[in-house]
């Protein structure tokens, strides 16, 4: 099964695509879609949409997974921008018939490290280890996207294992 994790943002949207086969998880592709702050907002959204749509069409993931939006009350504009990008992801999933799953950050951290309050660096290192990556993930946006994909794989496996008789 292929799982696409996406870390939505207007400046840098990270993505990570993994393949699961039983207990084995492997990396298919990861990267980021960057937009420039001087580009009109609508064009920035268009670039993110087009890039993610191409990715989905090419790889046909079974699931798309994102972290639930959280923005500090002092930064409502951040939530607004994140919501705009997340709306694009929902649209792509709806048009392509792909289930979209959201998890709280603490659920993602717990699935990967066993601790809901793990640091970003702990999560990143564990993702690198679980995917047997030879080098460090260079961008936090990519690490975050991979972490939601890997977390979903583990959560689904746990649910499957718990329902076996």
Strand partners, 140: none
Q: Which residue has 């696409």 as its token pair? A: 4
Pairing of strands 63-67, 100-103: parallel
Q: Residue 82's closest CA among 95, 93, 68, 92?
A: 68
- Report the alpha-carbon distance of residue 10 to residue 89 in Å, rounded: 12
Cα(5)–Cα(64) distance, integer angstroms: 6
Contact 147, 108 (CB under 8 A): yes
Q: Exactly one of 46, 67, 102, 136 is catalytic; name it.
A: 67
7 is catalytic: yes
* Annotated catalytic residue 23: no
141 is catalytic: yes
Identify the active-site residue in 136, 141, 144, 161: 141
Show the tokens assigned to 102: 């959201």
| Catalytic option among 7, 21, 23, 128 | 7
Task: State the catalytic residues.
Answer: 7, 67, 141
């Amino acid at each position: 099964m292929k799982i696409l994790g996406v870390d939505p943002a207007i400046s840098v949207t990270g993505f990570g695509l993994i393949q699961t086969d039983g207990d084995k998880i492997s990396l298919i592709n990861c990267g980021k879609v960057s937009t420039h702050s001087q580009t009109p907002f609508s064009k920035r959204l268009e670039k993110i949409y087009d890039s993610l749509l191409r990715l989905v069409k090419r790889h046909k993931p079974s699931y798309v997974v994102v972290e639930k939006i959280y923005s500090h009350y002092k930064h409502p504009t951040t939530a607004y921008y994140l919501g705009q990008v997340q709306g694009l992801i929902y649209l792509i999933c709806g048009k392509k018939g792909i289930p979209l799953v959201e998890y709280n950050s603490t659920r993602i951290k717990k699935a990967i490290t066993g601790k809901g309050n793990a640091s970003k660096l702990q999560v990143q290192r564990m993702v690198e280890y679980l995917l047997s990556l030879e080098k460090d993930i260079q961008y936090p946006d990519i690490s975050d996207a991979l972490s939601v994909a890997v977390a979903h794989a583990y959560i689904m496996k746990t649910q499957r294992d718990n329902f076996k008789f």
